[in-house]
Amino acid sequence: MAVDEAILQSIGQNRSLPTLRLYAWSPPCLSIGYAQPCADVDRQKLHYFGWDWVRRPTGGRAILHTDELTYSVIAPSTEPRLAGGVLESYQRLSRALLAALFSLGIPAISNPINPPSPPRNTQAICFEVPSNYEIVISGKKLIGSAQARRKEGVLQHGSLPLLGDLTRITGVLVYADESAREEARWRLLAHATTVETVLGRPLSWDAAANAFINAFQSELNLDLLQDELTGQEISAARELVKDKYGHPSWLQRI
């Protein structure tokens, strides 16, 4: 999360180009949304499993980042592909996300909810909560995304679960009792899925990443250049870990 924000800062200072970043997490990490209560997190269970937790700069509910491809798109607000409001720019980026899935043999769609459902704040898990124009396959959510807009520019990031048991997240969240935890497991399986479940076979992170790269280039008319983080971005990310993303004042702000 600190790296995403460091790139956003650098772009706002005209030091970095608009960026598509593809990454994974080690060890697994529970991320909660900007406005999600930290009381949703069972920190004792996280410690038991050896997993991390972080608060995202974007909204939404909890995601367990493991066995997935995570993407972020970071650009100045003047970037034409991110022009308009949140929904308009999200739909534009979704064309690339859908093209990537199609190239992998996954005929997903961007599903409108008319009218959009109100947020169900009683549910702690992102993939349980429907959002307008979310990317689904056979009615189940496959990519969860969120966007933040700052004076420096726009950050959108999201998660594509590749394989594994989606219900693992319920083991590190707080529920009233075990019956409520079990209900959350069933709800999650009813509303979300993984690439492995859809395809009937595992898909490597590299294969998914290459599909994203090709789709973003073709659908958004981009010429992507592979690069490393700059020294300034690395330094800014370290400061953000120390002063923000690893600090109780951010993690426990709510």
Active-site positions? Answer: 126
* Cβ-based neighbour number of residue 125 at 10 Å: 24
Give the amino acid at 104. Answer: L
Q: List the one residue out of 139, 246, 118 whose CA is nearest residue 193.
A: 139
CA–CA gap between residue 169 and residue 151 (Å, rounded) = 33
Q: List the one residue out of 212, 109, 220, 88 whose CA is nearest residue 162.
A: 212
CB burial of 27-54 (b: ≥16 within 10 Å; e: otherwise) equals ebbbbbbeebebebbbeeebeeeebbbb
